A = this chain, B = another copy of it.
Amino acid sequence: MSDASDLPVDEPVGTPGHAVRTLADVNEDALLAEILPVFATGPAALLGPGDDTAVLATTGGSVIATTDTMVRDRDWRDAWSSGRDVGAKVVAQNLADIAAMGGRPTGVLVTVVADPATTVEWVLEVTRGIAAACQESHVAVLGGDLSSAPPGTLMVSITALGSLDGRPPVLRRGARPGDVVAVCGTLGLAAAGWRLLESGREDEDTQAVALQRCPCPPLAQGPLAATAGATSMLDLSDGLLRDATRVARASGVRLALDGSALAPDIRRITPVLGPDLARECVLAGGEEHALLATFPCGIRLPAGWRALGVVEQGDGVTIDGVAEKPRGWDHFSP
């Protein structure tokens, strides 16, 4: 099988003895007939793809729902990410949101909007990436939509559904003065990977580059943190400062972070990017999808979590007492 990352999607090239098919060469039904068998459904899918809607089993009288989209040349570059990477990454981003509520993902819907010049193989690679990521988390692929797009446009969108299993959701607005601020997962590595890819130095930190290509959110830790009593939680998608500021604002509190708690994260990245860029990656780097939560003072943090600071009366985010501006990723004004 050819490596989709080597196929320029909008300029399909032939390989000897094997014509490259594009979406314009196949009709929608034929394409679906290739895609659907790749997806698994699982017990929560009372009805999978193929009808007007899917039917998903729910528990506890509610379903949680979120949606997140990746657009080529905004959220990924073909030169850096294979179709499989893109499929796995868009699933991971969505499931991280489910986990950040303390939820368990149960099903996803997939939308692909693609220039008809897109190769069928690229779409199948996305499909395989989505299928593998869903299967790993026992999530059903419930259905989706295929649409054509203007030349050069390619996007993959996921809606993820999940269950709280009877627990209340862990919101952004529950942090209280005295709580401990804690994180589960790495900080700044995905952003470091992006900088290495951009400067052609992807061999210098393969872990960071792999996390940029596809984050690995600690999904099971979401429900565990909820059970442990987390008072607020979100996943770090737009940078530590920007996301921490969201918790601070929603809860009406200040998140006072310890520089010393962030020092190991900065040191981890310093050898490849230097101390200043490393600090910027840790504080403002997006797409990490670690979980940030607050826990009542005095409880033992669940295994895998580490304290970053405390919640205080006030507003905003400080590091060692110094107010930090909420910087990070913005879709329209980057």
Contact = CB atoms under 8 A, between A and B. Distances in A.
A331 B116 CA distance: 9
Interface stretch (A105-113, A130-138, A181-189, A270-278): A105-113
Please indicate which of the listed interface residues A143, A150, A152, A330 has the most CB atoms of chain B within 10 Å of its own CB.
A150
A286 interface: no
Contacts of A28: 330-333
Contacts of A47: 169, 171
Contacts of A79: none
Given A98-B53, A332-B24, A109 B31 contact: no
Interface string A31-51: 100000000000000110011
A229 interface: no
Interface in A151-174: 152-153, 155, 157, 159-162, 164, 169, 171-173
A65 B101 contact: no
Contacts of A150: 71-74, 150, 152-153
Interface in A88-143: 97-98, 100-101, 103, 107, 109, 111, 113, 116, 142-143
Given A27-B330, A52-B100, A58 B62 contact: yes
Given A52-B97, A143-B67, A331-B28, A149 B109 contact: no
Contacts of A116: 332
A198 interface: no
Copies in the complex: 2
A252 interface: no
A149 B71 contact: yes
A5 interface: no
Interface in A1-57: 23-24, 26-29, 31, 46-47, 50-57
15 contacts: A23-B332, A46-B62, A51-B169, A52-B172, A53-B103, A53-B160, A54-B65, A54-B66, A67-B143, A74-B149, A146-B332, A147-B155, A149-B155, A150-B150, A157-B157
Contacts of A55: 62-65, 101, 164, 169
A28 B31 CA distance: 35
**Which 4 pairs, one residue from A and one from B, show the smallest C-beta to C-beta distance?**
A53-B66, A159-B159, A52-B100, A52-B97
Contacts of A54: 64-66
Contact of A52 (B46, B57, B148, B234): B234
A169 B142 CA distance: 15
Contacts of A67: 109, 111, 143-145, 159
A71 B112 CA distance: 11
A70 B111 CA distance: 11
A28 B103 CA distance: 26
A171 B46 contact: no
Contacts of A73: 150
Contacts of A320: none
Contact of A65 (B50, B152, B161): B161
Contacts of A164: 55
A204 interface: no
